[in-house]
Amino acid sequence: MLVMLLTISSAQEPLWLGRGATEDVMNLNVGARSPGYVPAFGTSGFAAPASPQVMALSTSAMVHQAESLLSEMKRERDEILSIYNLTRKMAVYASENASIARSMAESAEMNARRAETSAYECRVALNETESVRSEILSIYNLTRKMAVYASENASIARSMAESAEMNARRAETSAYEFRMAINTSS
């Protein structure tokens, strides 16, 4: 009676632990999920597996499983090492690119300074050119005025030369007439 009350009060079915051989082990995870198992819930809500599955502890199976795990771990290690080597190469590449970028930035900064200096020199040269252009323009205007003045003076000089030539002819004619008058009076 006590045994019956004990199973009813705990609401558990008895667990079958296998044949009890030394190479068998109980795997409760597989037993709890065995197909076709319909749990019988007791009053406390706990449902124990009907019969746990046993797994043989064979040394050859364990060695095979260890070898497969070891080969998988080696594959994972090789993959991680290849990612690590790739990361190292990328870090070296990034470092080289950073140094190249740094030297390019320094070069760009130096070129910017040179461009700024050249722009300043161009502004100075432009100001000087503008000054020279103004001087050349004033000289050109002065030359044009002088050309007009020279043209006017040339026409005056021409008319003065013509007048002088005419006066010279008159003087020559007067001298001729005067000699003639002297010759006739003598």
> Contact 49/37 with Cβ under 8 angstroms?
yes
Contacts of 50 (CB under 8 A, 6+ apart): 13, 16, 31, 34, 37, 39
Instruction: Give me the residue label for tokens 């050109």.
Output: 140
Instruction: Report CA-CA distances (Å) from 36 to 33, 41, 49, 55.
Output: 9, 16, 11, 19
**Digits of tens for pLDDT over the chain (186 positions)?**
656 555 555 554 555 555 555 545 544 444 444 556 566 666 666 665 555 545 556 667 777 888 888 889 899 888 888 888 888 888 888 888 888 888 888 988 898 899 899 899 988 988 888 888 888 888 888 888 888 888 888 888 888 888 888 888 888 888 888 888 888 876
pTM for the structure as a whole: 0.34
